Amino acid sequence: FYTFILVSALREGNGDEDSEAESYRDGRTGEVDRETRARAFAWCRDFLSGSWKSIAEADFQISIVSGGLSNLLYKCSLPDHIKPVGVEPSRVLLRIYGAILQTSKKNVISVMFAILAERKLGPRLYGIFPEGRLEQYLPSKRLHTEHLQVPDISAEIACKMARFHRMVMPVNKEPRWLFATIDKYMKKIMNTTFEREAHIKKFKKLMKYDLPAELASLRALLAATPSPVVFCHNDVQEGNILMLDGRDRNSSDKLMLIDFEYSSYNYRGFDFGNHFCEWVYDYTHDQWPFFKANLDNYPNRQQQLHFIRNYLSECEDNVPEDQAKIEEDIIIEANRYALASHFLWGLWSIVQARISKIEFGYMVSY
């Protein structure tokens, strides 16, 4: 069931693509709309100051950055003939929160972002405001799904995850995020209605499953699965991992995790299982529904062990005597929490299908 709900709730490659795609168009062509441009200019001028205050809006440069299913991303730059006069950057990344995040605890997210930046686990923060924030623009490329299988990249992701998990953050340390979020989305879904016929059919199909009973079964399984509570990223997918420009190919510090909107104290197994699920999904497909899925790409046992061993090597100075048992326990932990990932993001997708303006096939059959 869990595989079904994630895949079917996310996207589809056949049937009524045109009717569904139309409902997700938000005007994000090659041009930035006038209102967004004006708001971006005002934010950059007010928060970055320096040379940004001396330019006219006509000279302000802004372009759409690809990527991001929860936010809208833009690169904002000074014109080439204007140089910084102080410490202000010449270009930044503007992140405008999506509908869900605009109603969540933005202040907590901003605090976490700033601390992670200080500890060089994330980009620098330049400005925060109710609608979003200004971040350091890092010359880089986002990973693609196939990169997750590359052994040295997988090893570094594991190490970065381990460092993330060692963080002590000034936020609530109770692991409420996972099931509180699932319960929140479940409540929304049980009271959701759709207007488009294509959505109505798929929603009715999903609702034939007894979601509350499935959730109760999932809770019982995870309650019987030991998993330490750590500070989790909660969304370690390829689009949230940057390959930094100018780093040696053999460097062990060429990657950076980004996008901490879902970060919280959580059960460690969720970060493992969620990341393993992301090996399956390619979100760079350029036609509706803007994704591909290949279940054969889910990491096999050796790939999981490679990831887990690199994670443990970052956490432990010495190899423990019971290393083999620890590895086996983590494999069970990770794959059980992968079910929670399926359930959570399946519900999330249904909610997004109802409220998001981002062009993406959030609720389709596969």
- Summary mean pLDDT of the chain: 87
Q: Are 162 and 314 a contacting pair, CB within 8 Å?
A: yes
Q: Find the range with the poorest average confidence among 214-223, 225-234, 286-295.
A: 286-295
Identify the band that residue 155 occupies on the pLDDT scale cut at 50, 70 and 90.
very high
pLDDT of residue 108: 80
Alpha-carbon gap, residue 40 to 235, rounded angstroms: 27
Q: How confident is the model at residue 15 (pLDDT cuts 50, 70, 90)?
A: very low
Per-residue pLDDT, averaged over 190-198, amounts to 88
State both tokens at 293.
């899925």
Q: What is the rounded CA–CA span in Å between residue 181 and residue 104?
A: 11
Residue 296 has pLDDT above 90, yes or no: yes
Cβ-count burial 267-293 (b if 16+ within 10 Å, e if not)? bbbbbbbbbbbbbbbbbeeeebbbbbb
Which is more confident, 204 or 19? Answer: 204
Per-domain residue ranges for the chain? 2-28+98-123+138-355
How would DSSP label each residue in 284-351? T-SSTT--EE-GGGS--HHHHHHHHHHHHHHH-SS--TTHHHHHHHHHHHHHHHHHHHHHHHHHHHHH
Residue 363 — very low, low, confident or very high, per pLDDT cuts 50/70/90?
confident
pLDDT for the residue 330? 98
Residue 12 has pLDDT above 70, yes or no: no
If pLDDT is split at 50, 70 and 90, which confidence band does 99 have?
low
Each residue's pLDDT tens digit, 55-91? 999 999 999 986 555 678 999 999 999 999 999 999 9
Percent of the chain with pLDDT over 70: 87
- Tell me: pLDDT of 9 over 50: no
Asked if pLDDT for residue 29 goes beyond 80, the answer is: no
Per-residue confidence (pLDDT) for residue 104, from 0 to 100:
55
Domain 2-28+98-123+138-355 is found in CATH 3.90.1200.10: yes
CB 340 within 8 A of CB 178: yes
pLDDT band of 283, cuts 50, 70, 90: confident
Q: What is the pLDDT of residue 31?
A: 84
The tens digit of pLDDT for each residue in 220-255 reads 999 999 999 999 999 999 999 999 998 887 788 899
Query: Tens digit of pLDDT for each residue in 310-324?
Result: 999 998 766 678 999
Q: In this predicted structure, which of 6-15, 88-97, 143-152 has the lowest mean pLDDT?
A: 6-15
Q: What angle in degrees, to the nearest 10, is found between the helix axes of 177-190 and 211-223? A: 170
d(CA 142, CA 140): 7
Place of tokens 């054969």: 296
Q: Note the pLDDT of residue 317.
A: 67
Higher pLDDT, 100 or 28: 100
Residue 249, pLDDT score:
78
- Provide the pLDDT for residue 348: 93
- In this structure, are residues 76 and 91 in contact, taking their beta carbons and an 8 Å threshold? yes
Least confident of 17-31, 81-95, 280-294, 344-358: 17-31
HSE-CB for 175 with a 13 A CA cutoff? 17
